Amino acid sequence: MQVRIVTALAIGFLAVAVIAGAAFTITVLGASDSTQRLLLDRNRRVVEAQAQFLRDRLDPVSTQLQLIASLAARGRLDVGVPSQVVDALAAGMEQLPQLSGAGFAALDQTVHRVILKPEGLVRDRVPLSAIPGGFDRFREIQAAKAPFWGDLLWDSSTRQPVINVRVPIRRNDGGFVGALVATVAMGELSRLIISHDLDGQTFILVGRDHVLAHRTLTEPKRVALTEARPLPRLSEVGDPVLAAIWQPPVLSRTFTRVLGNLGHVIDINGQRWIFVYRQIDGYGPEPWLIGQYFPYEEATRDIDRLREGIVAGAAALLLALLLAAVMGVRMARAIRRLGATAAALERFDFNDDEPMVRSRLKEIDDAAEALEKARSTLKWFGLYVPRRLVARLMADGEESLVSRRGTVTVMFTDIVGFTPLAEDMDERNTAELLNHHFALVGAVIEREHGVIDKYIGDSVMALWGLMPDHADAACRAALAIAEVVREDNAARRARGLNPVRVRIGVHTGTVVLGNIGTPERMNYTVVGDAVNVAQRIEQLGKSHMLDGDEVIALTSGDTINWLQDPTALSAEPVFVGEQAIRGRVVPAKIYRLVQG
């Protein structure tokens, strides 16, 4: 099966496009999935980092109190001398600057405290009854088996709530001998989380509606808090984005699936925000929600870059396909041109004088140049070798060169008195006269599918034999030659030149066709008696041509007998008699086709 070069190129480019498109799609999908996974991982790490930072600041407080309680349980600290315990608490506050206060509640229901004031650590002691809810909290610690973070306490001096961890002190036998308490103020907790977040967008919620830590709560006095309402609501911290956290989320093709239960996206007045958060347990009776929010555009920056890369990649792919298509069309056009030229050469057709289209592709350009040289060479070759013969050789191959016997019709033409005519002309005019005459005669012979075998001086030898009506074609050619000679002579007389007189002889007979000559110089021609007879019939025209005649054409009776349709000739052959032909015993019947 054969396909056109354009089809092959189209299939090839389509295959490349499909493969490249598939690879590009796989790469894009993989990159998109990887980017989304990275975003998910980043969001998870953001929240985890904040939660871990918070633990790293709060857990040491509990650890420090447990250490003091352990020292007291082993007798390293004498709970009967409260100052020793207070000294240990003060030392712990020096190491843990996030603490706003610490205290030791003894069995005598006195609370010995260390409080962080602007001027430094201040120690005091107050009865348990002076602390609101003090007895209930003391009994709660007494019943506890391990340290725990209790409910919020209200600090009346700073007018803000404090988170607190409570640790019971027990002897080795399990007896309760006192309680330790350490507190972290809400303002300090807010400063802790925003110090780890340069943008200050981190928050801690208690429940869904109360804010425990936020950048606006670093100075709690700015918010009107009371012991009855120790935590501000979302709408009271002056952060419209955080206040809208629980409004219905919007769907995001990029983040809804990626975030999952880690967060959601909201829209505020046309601008989108992304919230990421996670729950933290263990720092009070209610769980905390620590989170962060940031603009949607910031989160989608990597996605946007990926999309830009996708667009650029798609554009590059389309451009590559377009360039490939343009190159394919140009290559196909050049190759079709080469094919058309080669086909014309196969037909021995040199009528197309359009130069070959040059190509920037070296191989195609080299082929075009070589084919152009071959065309020029064959064109010159066709001037010396009959085109029909070459076409037959090209069509039939070497088998057509095998010598064989066949019946053909041979024609000879000759210019009457050419030698004295040429004596009055220079070489250039002589050559122009012959070339012009041969062009007229050759065009007629070519039109009637004859083959010019050779030029002999001012004579032309032609033959017909590859078709059933070869005799008819030769006679038609003789009549047409007479017509064009008369027309040409009229033009010559108009220019003041002498007319050209022509004799024509036609005969049909058996000849041998084949390669005649030496291995170095071959001539594919015909030999035989029919060739001699045709030439001698042409010579007979001397005795039948009158002085005023421009053309005389004689033919043998054998040619008349081979005519397929004598009525198709423009002039009826006229029998002029039997003539003796040199070299033949039997006289030949001679007919006149043209005279005058």
Question: Residue 385's pLDDT band (boundaries 50, 70, 90)?
Answer: low
| pLDDT beyond 90 at 394 | no
Q: Where in the chain is the domain with CATH 3.30.70.1230?
A: 397-595
Phi, psi of 203 (to 5 degrees): -150, 160
Question: Residue 425's pLDDT band (boundaries 50, 70, 90)?
Answer: confident
Q: Which of 65, 75, 123, 141 is nearest to 96 (CA)?
A: 65
| pLDDT beyond 70 at 380 | no
Question: Residue 420's pLDDT band (boundaries 50, 70, 90)?
Answer: confident
Q: Which of 226, 227, 200, 225 is nearest to 214 (CA)?
A: 200
Name which residue leads in pLDDT, 354 or 537: 537
Name which residue leads in pLDDT, 150 or 355: 150
Quote the pLDDT of residue 484: 96
For 263-295, the pLDDT digits (tens) are 899 999 999 998 999 999 999 999 999 998 988
Quote the pLDDT of residue 547: 87
Quote the pLDDT of residue 173: 85
Encoded tokens for 117: 């004031």
- Which of the following CATH numbers is that of domain 397-595: 3.30.70.1230, 3.40.190.10, 3.40.50.80, 3.50.50.60? 3.30.70.1230
| pLDDT beyond 60 at 71 | yes
CA quadruple 91, 95, 100, 104: dihedral positive or negative?
A: negative
Going from the C-alpha of 461 to that of each of 76, 282, 415, 581, the distances in angstroms are: 142, 121, 13, 19
Least-confidence region, from 181-190, 449-458, 520-529, 587-596: 520-529
Q: Which of 472, 426, 429, 477 is nearest to 451 (CA)?
A: 477
Question: How far, in whole angstroms, is CA 488 from its chain's centroid?
Answer: 65
Quote the pLDDT of residue 247: 94
CATH class of 1-299: alpha beta
Q: What is the rounded average pLDDT for all residues in the chain?
A: 85
CA quadruple 83, 88, 91, 95: dihedral positive or negative?
A: negative
| pLDDT beyond 60 at 399 | no
> Beta partners for 127?
110
Quote the pLDDT of residue 312: 79
Question: Residue 409's pLDDT band (boundaries 50, 70, 90)?
Answer: very high
How far apart CA 174 and CA 268 sit, in angstroms, is 57
| CB atoms inside a 10 Å sphere around CB 380 | 11
Which regions of 416-501 does DSSP assign to beta strands (E)? 451-456, 459-464
Quote the pLDDT of residue 327: 74
Quote the pLDDT of residue 136: 92
How far apart CA 408 and CA 453 sit, in angstroms, is 12
Residues written for the chain: 596
- Residue 262 is classified by DSSP as G
Quote the pLDDT of residue 482: 95
Question: What's the rounded mean pLDDT across residues 117-131?
Answer: 92
Question: Residue 393's pLDDT band (boundaries 50, 70, 90)?
Answer: low
Quote the pLDDT of residue 169: 95
Quote the pLDDT of residue 384: 59
Is the pTM higher than 0.85? The answer reads: no
Quote the pLDDT of residue 200: 61
